């Protein structure tokens, strides 16, 4: 009645390694109401310790009893054996009764409930089987997603089989906070169905992505659980979220995920290109008296490089010196005793990349203060520019988490349905970018920052089909929705203005569904 199963963790990259699922045996049920189940494990389970898998404190299994006259299920908690491969599970308060057949599911989470109508021939998960949202576990996996199924034999022994496979990958970067693995083929499923012995049978619906988030350590391995359908990945994409940026790596893999087996991706496509982005290309209204240690905060961002990799120079006559640190530029500028304004420059260059310029407009003794203003008119971009900005051809859906940078500080974070397109309305040719979805749910939104209060004007049309949609602006933590929805006709363009009462981050999105945005303008009060 004891089981010893070895989990092999050392294997070649892009190789499937069998982990023959744990044979979790159940002792003959006691006459006192089936209060305890003794089980031992031999395969990937709840926690990894070297090459062995052991039960953990807090583990629970759900026992199902089935007879033609009815069925029931009860949760059993681990009583003893945590930290070992053999354990006892107990329910003394409300144990399962006597039934013709017994089944078990791990974990005992409600999302893994069996659909009673499918018993005893099929084991169907009676809820959405969503494997996004896993928690990163160094050299392990999130036990809450490690679905296992079992059917008792005539001796009332349970033999568990995995309902998932394991994608192993080694983290190539520092500061990774999330990982996504997806395939061009539909290789995961929402409501999987298994034969009574736990063998995968079919999926009612499917997606192609699994995700995990948390703290990832460079050089360490992590396992993402994926429902196993025996189908090929096709083209596989691995995305790493590093700070606020997302890096995507794509490659072709001919293997497939199978129940209870590990697919080792190794260190996927770990090539990175250092990048420098200037976020504030123009600085206005610098005082005529000049000064040293003046600062420009959030002036630039770096990816996969450090400040020491950037060469900083100035024009030397107006702006005399500049340094950078953590996104802030500190500079010195000579006094301007003349009546007219002067213009100085700060130059940033990363390696052999093109030099980027920050223009510094200094007031003269009789200068008029220049108001901060921005204008993003998508119709002014060529198709080639739109493709370069978004990485997409027109009418092509974006990859979830992709960031588009339109210049002058405007960015757009997308989800899987974001896209740009051309449209002729009332004889005028426009380009538009779809936005929408409630902010905070990884949906798509525009974002830029300003050093002053002002007015945002947006030209837009309604969202999907003929249903009117409204636009929402969020300034820092305060948001306002345009209550006068544009009509359902795409020919009825609307300009809406929002007056900002504070400087800071400005976001634009639709709280319901998509809207088509054609231009955005901002002008300081």
Question: What SS3 state is found at 476?
Answer: coil
Report pLDDT digits (tens) over 204-239.
556 678 899 999 998 999 989 887 665 666 677 888
Whether residue 518 lies inside any domain: the answer is: yes
Among 325, 343, 370, residue at a domain's last position: 370
- Per-residue burial over 175-191, b if 16 or more Cβ lie within 10 Å, else e, is ebebbbbbbebebbbbb
Same-domain check for residues 259 and 306: no
- Structural domain total, the chain: 3
Same-domain check for residues 460 and 432: yes
Q: Cβ distance 197 to 295 under 8 Å? A: no
Q: What is the DSSP string of 339-394?
A: SS-EEEEEEEEETTSPPEEEEEEE--TTPPPPPPEEEEEGGGS-HHHHHHHHS--T
Average pLDDT score over the chain: 78
pLDDT at 336 over 90: yes
Q: Cis peptide leading into 249, omega within 30 of 0? A: no
Whether residue 5 lies inside any domain: the answer is: no
Same-domain check for residues 32 and 171: yes
pLDDT at 294 over 90: yes
**Bridge partners (DSSP) listed for residue 256:** 232
Model confidence at 19, in pLDDT bands (50, 70, 90)?
A: very low
Same-domain check for residues 468 and 330: no
Cα separation of 396 and 382, whole Å?
16
Higher pLDDT, 474 or 442: 474
Model confidence at 377, in pLDDT bands (50, 70, 90)?
A: very high
CA distances 502 to 452, 453, 455, 506, 510, Å, are 7, 5, 11, 10, 21
Could you list the residue range(s) of the whole structural domain that residue 146 is in? 16-264
Same-domain check for residues 280 and 327: yes
CATH number at residue 360: 2.60.40.10
Same-domain check for residues 318 and 244: no
Model confidence at 408, in pLDDT bands (50, 70, 90)?
A: confident
CATH number at residue 406: 2.60.120.260
Q: Give the pLDDT score at 272.
A: 67
Whether residue 217 lies inside any domain: the answer is: yes
pLDDT at 48 over 80: no
Q: Give the pLDDT score at 321.
A: 97
Same-domain check for residues 215 and 128: yes
Whether residue 9 lies inside any domain: the answer is: no
Average pLDDT over residues 474-494: 75
Among 210, 236, 264, residue at a domain's last position: 264
Report pTM.
0.51
Instruction: Single out the residue of 406, 278, 276, 407 nearest to residue 345, CA to CA.
Output: 278
Same-domain check for residues 430 and 462: yes
pLDDT at 5 over 60: no
Whether residue 3 lies inside any domain: the answer is: no
Higher pLDDT, 493 or 458: 458
Same-domain check for residues 405 and 422: yes
């Amino acid at each position: 009645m004891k089981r010893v199963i070895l989990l092999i963790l050392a294997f070649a990259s892009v190789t499937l390694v069998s982990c023959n699922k744990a044979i979790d045996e159940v002792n003959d049920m006691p006459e006192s109401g089936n209060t305890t189940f003794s089980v031992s494990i031999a395969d990937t389970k709840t926690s990894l310790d070297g090459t062995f898998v052991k039960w953990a404190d807090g583990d629970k299994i759900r026992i199902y009893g089935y007879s033609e006259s009815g069925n029931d299920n009860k949760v059993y908690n681990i009583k003893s054996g945590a930290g070992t491969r053999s354990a006892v599970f107990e329910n003394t308060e409300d144990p399962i009764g006597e039934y013709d057949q017994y089944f078990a599911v791990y974990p005992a989470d409600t999302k893994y409930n069996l659909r009673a109508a499918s018993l005893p021939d099929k084991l169907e998960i009676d809820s959405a089987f969503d494997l996004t949202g896993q928690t990163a576990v160094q050299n392990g996996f999130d036990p809450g997603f490690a679905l296992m199924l079992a059917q008792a034999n005539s001796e009332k022994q349970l033999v568990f089989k995995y309902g998932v496979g394991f994608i192993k990958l080694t983290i190539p970067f520092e500061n990774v906070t999330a990982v996504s693995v997806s395939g061009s083929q539909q290789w995961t499923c929402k409501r999987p169905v298994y034969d009574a012995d736990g063998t995968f049978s079919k999926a009612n619906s499917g997606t192609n992505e699994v995700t995990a988030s948390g703290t990832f350590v460079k050089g360490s391995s992590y396992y993402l659980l994926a429902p196993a359908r025996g189908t090929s990945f096709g083209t596989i994409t691995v995305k790493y979220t590093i700070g606020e940026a997302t890096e995507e790596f794509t490659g072709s893999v001919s293997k497939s995920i199978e129940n209870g087996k590990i697919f080792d991706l190794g260190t996927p496509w770990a090539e990175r290109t250092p990048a420098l982005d200037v976020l504030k290309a123009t600085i206005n209204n610098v005082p005529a008296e000049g000064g040293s240690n003046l600062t420009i905060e959030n002036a630039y961002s770096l990816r996969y490089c450090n400040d020491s990799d950037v060469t900083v120079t100035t024009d030397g006559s107006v702006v005399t010196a500049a340094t950078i640190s953590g996104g802030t530029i500190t500079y010195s500028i000579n006094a301007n005793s003349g009546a007219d304004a002067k213009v100085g420059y700060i130059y940033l260059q990363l390696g052999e990349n093109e030099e980027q310029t920050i223009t510094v407009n200094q007031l003269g003794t009789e200068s008029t203060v220049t108001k901060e203003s921005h204008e993003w008119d998508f119709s002014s971009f060529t198709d080639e520019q739109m493709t370069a900005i978004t990485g997409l051809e027109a009418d092509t859906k974006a990859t979830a988490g992709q960031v588009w940078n339109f210049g002058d500080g405007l960015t757009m974070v997308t989800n899987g349905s974001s896209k740009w397109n051309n449209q002729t309305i009332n004889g005028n040719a426009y380009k538009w970018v779809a936005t929408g979805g409630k902010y905070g749910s990884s949906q798509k939104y525009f974002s830029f920052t300003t050093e002053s209060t002002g007015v945002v004007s947006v030209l837009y049309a309604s969202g999907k089909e003929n249903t009117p949609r409204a636009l929402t602006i969020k300034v820092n933590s305060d948001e306002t929705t345009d209550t006068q929805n544009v009509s359902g006709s795409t020919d009825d363009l609307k300009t809406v203005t929002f007056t900002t009462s504070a400087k800071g981050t400005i976001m634009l999105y639709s709280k319901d569904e998509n809207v088509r945005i054609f231009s955005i303008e901002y002008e300081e009060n």
